[in-house]
A and B are shown apart, each in its own frame.
Chain A
Amino acid sequence: MFAEIEALKPGTVPGLVRPGEISVRITPGDIVPFCRSAAERGFELVDLTCVEGFDREGRASLFYCMEKRGMPEVLTLVCTLEDESAPSVDCIFSSASWYERKIRDLFGVDFPDAFDRRRLVLHECYPEGFHPLRKSVPNRPFSPRTAIPPEEEYRFMPVEGKGVYQVPVGPVHAGIIEPGHFRFSVIGETVANLEVRMFYKHRGIEKLAEGKRPEECVAVAEAVSGDESVANALGFSLAVEKIAGIAVPDRAEYLRTIYAELERIHSHLGDLAGMLVDVAYPVGASRFTVLREEVFRLDRDLTGSRFMRGAVRIGGVGFDPSRDQIRGLSCFLSDVQERFRDPLKVVLASPTVIDRFATTGFVEPRFIRPLHLTGPTARSSGADCDVRRDHPYGAYADIAPPVRVLDAGDVLARFSLKASEVMDSLSMIRTCLEHLPDGPVIAEAEGGGVPDGYAYGMVESARGQNVHLVRVRDGRIDRYSVRTASFCNWQVIQHAVMGNIVADFPVINKSLNLSYAGTDL
């Protein structure tokens, strides 16, 4: 890995933050050449975020987090800016565009040569010059602008031509879902272009975390995205444990894995049901919905919360299941496996369902690296990636997940992949239960709190790779940055729907299972 990094630019001195994390300090002038040669050598941009006051008060530092397929380490380029601007890398890593727009909104760092300089996270109702993640801005409610001058209104990409018309959908939708605006440009029924606009409910989660003690902040991490609460609490805890050097007891590692896999199961079951509802096959969907509800109830019995909030804590887990609960869980799992397999067989043998799923919403493999797609979306388009195997955490080093990869890239591939991942998760939980070690479920708290430092926590949520950057200063959270899989995966929907018909959009959207909340922190 070090040789690999030195090859990026001769004379570079990589620093080892800790096993698995390598960091390189660069100057603003080095950003573009470094990124270009990293991209040429097969690195992907995993996360790009900003930290204020990293080494100089009031100065912004950019953190370019990268990984390369087959390398266990992640590489972070840290660059402290001289002024409020930085060169854009959006032509090298397409995924950088959203990150840079986000940093511009939240920190006021400008990227003058970026191809898209529109606002992203903070819509027009936020006043110009308001950058809430700056340390000088206090965390308190603000009054939005009500009158927005026409020249400051958001401009969608114009699509014009004979027979092209616009179909605006959202941000308020039918049913109980989150807000997002979809601007379709259609020719008849065929989608010629789709532009997605998110970030209607910016909650200020990252700002909220600042100044909190790490153990308080687990609840903040859980609130990032409702049905990824275990994954995000885990990602956050992993980062804090790295900073503090906490060794998590074995039993807790196994329990964390069980909770994470239960979460994957209920998330995937919801997707499978949702895809069937969206092609109007509720008879197939209802079997999965029932199973999902039963998993929720099991979660509640195990942890007191249907979404397993409070299950993961820094240094371990919050609950130690009794012998009876573990026995009950084993029985439940075998039962679920049986009751999952039969309806799945029926659905996959139904020609009307297959006809709707096959060839619909094709995610081309060429988008995977530039947009850094992860999770089932990437795996069903031929990408062999899974954080659980590539950067193991919890008990995944002992109990490796069988990483399944399909090539078709359509809705059917995502459906089949998620179905087989449910089966895999069930058997992984059973393996965990069989080998569940005895002992404490949480590390002994040491006096003195968490030392200063920063670390990345990476987890595989049901939707893909979630990246948490935590920086602790004086025992408090100084910066908490979260990048969920949805943040990257959202951008591919604009490509996946092209050439499909408008009526197939809901099922394509559901098959990608994108979290609005996880994108809009």
Chain B
Amino acid sequence: MNGPFIIFALLNVGFVLLISPLFMSLIKKVKARAQGRCGPGLFQTYYTIAKLLRKETVYSSASSWVMRVTPYVCLSMAVVAALFVPLLYVPEPVAGIGNVILFLYLLGIARFFMALSGLDAGSAFGGIGSSREMSLAAVIEPTSIVVLAALAVVARSLNFLEIARDSAGMLFPVSATMILIGVSLFIILIVETGRIPVDNPETHLELTMVHEAMVLEQSGRNLAMIEYAGAIKQTLLIAILVLVLMPFGLVTELSVAGVLFAMALFVVKGSVISVIIGLFESSMAKMRLFSLPNLFIIAFFFSVLTIFIEVFA
């Protein structure tokens, strides 16, 4: 472990923790505007998390240790995953940090525990949510792997840090096929963050929920951690998209000015993608549950196409 890497770790994780709630509120704001409402303030998610942290945690009498550890697992997996995607500064890769497959399975562990905790409280809604999440995951995971495989083929690396080092300082994506990958990654982003047309993060209708149904029994501090983990995951997926489509601004040499500039630039780039997400969500209704694989197939198709182009063209 070397000095710059430790600085990278602190800087990257700290920055992700700091800005993740902002993008959450920003997307809500965009959606509210599209509906003709004012919407929440940009700092609302920070307030909500702070409020939840102060609230009492209630456990169902049917729940076991799964319910109690899940928030910690989710948050810690998200924080570890935050090491994998460089937002500001790119160090030399160390000991598998930044590995694409590992990144995917860190998220997979969180998802697994989340599904268990949905079942754990013994409520019917949690069970519905877990069962839906797991059936969808069976289709999402292979798709995600193919998408990241396509990314790896194009970038000639399985490591986000290496991909970032190669593209750092470039104004445009490395190759035109990256744009195809961008489409796939955007779909993965929508799917993984449970947004319309896959799931509706704002609904109160338990029977329609996927992700939210698993979280229904969580409260207080635990809920805050899960929400925070969700926000972090979203920022990381946005960051991957930024890495692929808008690589400019990442610094490879540590300097205060460079890092500050990269921070400002990432907030702008992240905001652009958040606005796009908000508008995308506002433009359509949720799909039928059983038609969702059709959406994943689009991502799958674009990725396979990318691999073909890269290999045969």
Cβ contacts under 8 Å, A503 to chain B: 207-208, 288-289
User: Which stretch from A123-131, A168-176, A394-402 is at the chain B interface?
Assistant: A168-176
Known pairs A167-B128, A189-B290, A279-B285; A174 contacts B35 (CB<8 A): no
Whether A169 contacts B207 in the complex (CB less than 8 A), given A282-B31, A286-B37, A290-B36, comes out as: yes
Whether A175 contacts B204 in the complex (CB less than 8 A), given A169-B124, A283-B34, comes out as yes
A282 in contact with B208 given A169-B124, A355-B287, A356-B286 (CB within 8 Å): no
Interface of A is mostly: helix
At the interface, yes or no: B205 with Cβ under 8 Å from chain A?
yes
Q: How far is the CA of A157 from the CA of B256 in the complex (A)?
A: 70
Interface residue range, chain B: 20 to 34
- Cα-based distance from A285 to B124 in the complex (angstroms): 29
Known: A167-B124, A502-B128. A189 touches B289 (CB 8 A): yes
Which chain B residues lie closer than 8 Å to A284 at the CB level?
A: 285
- Which residues of chain B are near A174, meaning CB under 8 Å? 204-206
Contacting pair B31 A281 (CB below 8 A): no
Give chain B interface residues in 282-312, CB to chain A under 8 Å: 282-291
CB-CB nearest in chain A for B286: A280
The residue in chain A whose Cβ has the minimal distance to the Cβ of B197 is A352
Q: Could you tell me the distance between the alpha carbons of A274 and B154 in the complex, rounded to whole angstroms?
A: 46
Task: Report which of A166, A168, A352 forms a contact with B285, defined as CB distance below 8 A.
Answer: A352
A319 on interface, CB distance cutoff 8 Å: no
Decide yes or no whether B61 CB sits under 8 A from chain A.
no
- Looking at the assembled complex, report how far the CB atom of A417 sits from the nearest CB atom of chain B, in whole angstroms: 19
A505 to B286, CA, bound (A): 14
Contact of A501 among B34, B36, B206, B289 (CB under 8 A): B289
Q: Which residues of B contact A283 (CB under 8 A)?
A: 31, 34-35, 282-283
For the residues of B in contact with A, the DSSP-based class is loop
Complex Cα distance, B31 from A507, in Å, reads 21
Judged by a CB distance under 8 angstroms, whether A276 is at the interface is yes
Contact A278 B205 (CB under 8 A): yes
The residues of B that contact A276 with a CB separation of less than 8 Å are 285
Task: A476 to B202: give the CA distance in the assembly, Å.
Answer: 51
The reply on A420 being an interface residue by CB < 8 A is no
User: Are B289 and A279 neighbours in the complex by a CB distance under 8 Å?
Assistant: no
Query: Does chain A have a CB within 8 A of B196?
Result: yes
A440 cross-chain contacts in B, Cβ below 8 A:
none
Chain A min CB distance to B290 (Å): 7
Closest to B195 in A: A280
A503–B136 alpha-carbon span in the complex (Å): 14
In the complex, A137 Cα to B151 Cα: how many Å?
78
Among B200, B207, B290, contact of A505 (Cβ-Cβ < 8 Å): B207
A248 to B35, CA, bound (A): 45
B203: CB under 8 A from chain A? Answer: yes
A9 to B286, CA, bound (A): 56
Q: How far is the CA of A199 from the CA of B221 in the complex (A)?
A: 37
If the complex has contacts A280-B203, A353-B285, A506-B205, are A286 and B124 also in contact, measured as CB distance less than 8 A?
Answer: no
Q: How far is the CA of A510 from the CA of B290 in the complex (A)?
A: 21
A139 interface residue (CB < 8 Å to B): no
Among residues of A, the one whose C-beta sits closest to the C-beta of B31 is: A282
For residue A350, CB closer than 8 A to chain B, the reply is yes
B284: which of A188, A285, A350 is its contact (CB, 8 Å)? Answer: A350
Residue of A279, A282, A285 with most partner-chain B CB within 10 A = A282
The one of A175, A286, A356 that contacts B288, using a Cβ cutoff of 8 Å: A356
Closest Cβ of chain A to B255, distance in Å, is 44
With a cutoff of 8 Å between Cβ atoms, the chain A residues found around residue B34 in the complex are 283
Closest CB of chain A to B242's CB: distance in Å?
A: 26
Q: Give min CB distance, B36 to chain A, whole Å.
A: 5
| A284→B205 CA distance, assembly (Å) | 18
**Is there an interface contact between B35 and A355, defined as CB atoms closer than 8 Å?**
no
For residue A323, give the distance in angstroms from its CB to the closest CB of chain B. 33
**Given A189-B290, A290-B36, A355-B287, is A280 in contact with B207 using a C-beta cutoff of 8 Å?**
no
Is there an interface contact between A278 and B204, defined as CB atoms closer than 8 Å?
no
Residues of B within 8 A of A167 (CB): 124, 128
Q: Closest CB of chain B to A164's CB: distance in Å?
A: 13
Q: Give every chain B residue within 8 A of A353 (Cβ-Cβ).
A: 285
A290 to B282, CA, bound (A): 17
CB neighbours of B283 from chain A (8 A): 283
List chain A residues, Cβ under 8 A from B206: 169, 174
* Contact (A280, B36) CB under 8 Å given A169-B124, A353-B285: no
Residues of B187-222 contacting chain A, CB below 8 A:
196-197, 200, 202-208
A287–B202 CA distance with the chains assembled, in angstroms: 18
Chain A residue with the shortest CB-CB distance to B284:
A352
Contact B205 A501 (CB under 8 A): no
Report yes or no: B291 in contact with A355, Cβ–Cβ below 8 A: yes
B205 — which chain A residues lie within 8 A by C-beta? 174-175, 278, 506
Contact check, A286 vs B289: say whether CB atoms are below 8 A apart. Answer: no
Bound CA span A142–B208, Å? 39
- B132: chain A residues at CB < 8 Å are 189
Tell whether, in the assembled complex, residue B208 and residue A278 are in contact, meaning their CB atoms are under 8 Å apart: yes
Which B residues are CB-close (under 8 A) to A169? 124, 206-207
B131 to chain A, nearest CB (A): 8
Cross-chain contact A286 with B207 (CB below 8 angstroms): no
Give complex CA distance A286, B31 in Å: 11
> How far is it, in angstroms, between the C-alpha of A287 and the C-alpha of B297 when the chains are bound?
33
Chain B residues lying within 8 Å of A350, measured Cβ to Cβ, are 284-285
For B196, B200, B285, the residue with the greatest tally of chain A CB atoms inside 10 Å of its CB is: B285
Q: Which residues of A contact B197 (CB under 8 A)?
A: 280, 352
* Inter-subunit contact A501/B290 (CB<8 Å): yes
A169 and B287 CA atoms in complex are apart in Å by 23
In this complex, what residue of B is CB-closest to A505? Answer: B207
CA distance A282 to B208 in the complex (A): 15
The complex places the Cα of A352 from the Cα of B196 at a distance, in Å, of 11
Complex Cα distance A506/B125, Å?
14
**Cα–Cα, bound, A504→B206 (Å):** 11
By a CB distance below 8 angstroms, the chain B residues around A280 are: 196-197, 200, 203, 208, 285-286
Bound form: Cα–Cα A352–B205 in Å? 19
Interface residues of A (CB under 8 A from B): 166-169, 174-175, 188-189, 276, 278-287, 290, 350, 352-353, 355-356, 501-506
The 8 residue pairs across chains A and B that have the minimum distance between CB atoms: A280-B286, A281-B285, A286-B35, A280-B200, A174-B204, A352-B284, A352-B285, A279-B285
Chain B residues with CB under 8 Å of chain A are 31, 34-37, 124, 128, 131-132, 196-197, 200, 202-208, 282-291
**A-B CB contact pairs (8 Å), 5 listed:** A169-B207, A281-B286, A283-B282, A356-B288, A506-B208
Task: Knowing that A283-B34, A503-B288 touch, tell me 8 more A-B residue pairs with CB under 8 angstroms.
Answer: A174-B205, A189-B289, A280-B196, A280-B203, A290-B36, A353-B285, A355-B287, A503-B208
